[in-house]
Copies of this chain bind each other. A is one copy, B any other.
């Protein structure tokens, strides 16, 4: 995977098999094929494009994202709280366009594995294409209702973004490794509460409901201050551990 970035900072996925046409001119198919990360390529109008190795975030920004995705601050909480690392085995449901699966796949690396369950065929197709485009091989998209059963065992992290996640907590508990984490994303407080209570009933430990507020600071000539507008809420994250 490579991206092209023009002088204004605008980014594009680089497709090696075709000519690239922009408002700053044309880059020929041959140029695209030969472009290596770190290179500069020049359009027929003389404009420069840099070839950059994308981070997973660059790619997610540019990919087909037809359903809403978890925002970065919440992904950060999941990664940090569960201590997810290279080599881990993760389940997520539902896949959506595959953004969170890409985030997990990016962290667990070649020795790890992500199994991503999606009930809708159209979403599963989009996710598969996105994952192929990013060129990562450790994510398996499963077009299957996770409520029908979880096929994998000894899982380090199960992440659920479902309307009624708690319906499968017993199954999740069985399929987690000892010490593994369940993480649930829930926009409404009632979902968080029920998740908390059912986690407890099913036998999970270290149960916590967290929410984060992220604020950006502005440095202006007149002085420094937080930005006027911010995101007030994305969702609650409920963490439970099998111990």
A interface residues with partner B (beta carbon < 8 Å): 5, 9, 37-38, 50, 52-58, 72-73, 75-87, 103, 106-112, 156, 177-179, 181, 187-193, 196-197, 205-206, 208-220, 222-236, 243
User: Is A106 touching B86 in the complex (CB atoms < 8 A)?
Assistant: yes
Contact sample, A vs B, 8 pairs, CB 8 Å cutoff: A52-B179, A83-B103, A107-B107, A188-B220, A189-B224, A212-B214, A216-B232, A228-B231
User: Is B229 touching A232 in the complex (CB atoms < 8 A)?
Assistant: yes
User: Is B86 touching A112 in the complex (CB atoms < 8 A)?
Assistant: yes
Q: Kindly provide the distance from the CB of A98 to the nearest chain B CB, expressed in whole angstroms.
A: 15
Q: Kindly provide the distance from the CB of A205 to the nearest chain B CB, expressed in whole angstroms.
A: 6
User: Is B232 touching A226 in the complex (CB atoms < 8 A)?
Assistant: yes
CA distance A197 to B50 in the complex (A): 25
User: Is B215 touching A226 in the complex (CB atoms < 8 A)?
Assistant: no
User: Is A86 touching B108 in the complex (CB atoms < 8 A)?
Assistant: yes
User: Is B224 touching A233 in the complex (CB atoms < 8 A)?
Assistant: no
User: Is A55 touching B179 in the complex (CB atoms < 8 A)?
Assistant: yes
Give the residue of B72, B79, B218, B232 whose beta carbon is less than 8 angstroms from that of A228. Answer: B232
Q: Please name the residue on chain B nearest to A177 by beta carbon.
A: B53
CA distance A209 to B233 in the complex (A): 15
User: Is B227 touching A230 in the complex (CB atoms < 8 A)?
Assistant: no
